Structure 1
């Protein structure tokens, strides 16, 4: 049986591209962020939406590698691997980055679909001190946490750029 896996996938999907109870999902929110805002930050030394998206991709890639039993794969917090430097200079680059995020999410779904039953969720993640269920719930929580940051950045720039035409009515 895959009841727990199916519930995790449902939760991931709801938060990533579905209808979350609290508002927009990650992808719905990113659809509202124009590329001209994607590379800006609200305050110096903070992350842009593009950097947050690259960070989400990094940790989804971490989950993918762990689901593939790659015990060598690691990300050092606050490193270049954790927060890749990224510059978005066109709408096309912004779309490519968002497609990479969708591809990483889709790969997690694909790997979970391949699992025969829920038992693997209780297995320890190779090279870590936690099990797969904890890892996958962490990916869900991570998306929600950074969704809030993206929403804050978007709302701040929406106020600043209201009359510029960057945000279409």
Structure 2
């Protein structure tokens, strides 16, 4: 198995497979209603929905980076208040997350492993570090989502 395939497996497991940490993005988010996703159980904290949008935006950002594009990260760090908390808007958010999953898996299936050593010019981190970093980012925020879900369900 090559490294790109191993990384694809990590992405897949964390999204809807069988990761070591035993929770996945898809399973966790499928149990959350739009109303729960929009709740702010911690004053000045983020909602589940805001975190999911943040995950989506960072997945898109890092994918562009490892495709050679230099990206300007906004000062809000992709944390934006939810304006539309309808069922349809929540479905669209979950669909957007699914789209980023498919885009990452496609990218990894076509990625030239010699490019792992390429550096992103802004922070001098390699593409390899960026790719593993976005998986770590997803896992970090999944932990937050799991805790927030417990707060909004009870």
Into which bin does the TM-score normalised by the smaller protein fall?
A: over 0.9
Residue 26 (structure 1) aligned with residue 25 (structure 2): yes
Residue 85 (structure 1) aligned with residue 81 (structure 2): yes
Residue 35 (structure 1) aligned with residue 31 (structure 2): no
- The two structures have a TM-score, normalised by structure 2, of 0.92
Distance 1:55 1:41 in 2: 15
Q: Deviations over 1:36-83 (max 9, x none)?
A: 101111111100011001100111011121122112x1214xx23521
Q: Residues 82 and 16 of structure 1: is their aligned pair in 2 closer, same or farther, counting only changes over 3 Å?
A: same
Structural RMSD (CA): 1.5
Q: Which residue of 2 aligns with 1:112?
A: 108
Q: Which residue of 1 aligns with 2:92?
A: 96
Unaligned 5+ runs, structure 2: none
Unaligned 5+ runs, structure 1: 160-169
Aligned structure 1 segments of 4 or more residues deviating by more than 3 angstroms: none
Q: Is the 8 A contact 1:37 1:157 kept in 2?
A: yes
Determine which structure has the larger helix proportion and give its number: 2
- The two structures have a TM-score, normalised by structure 1, of 0.84
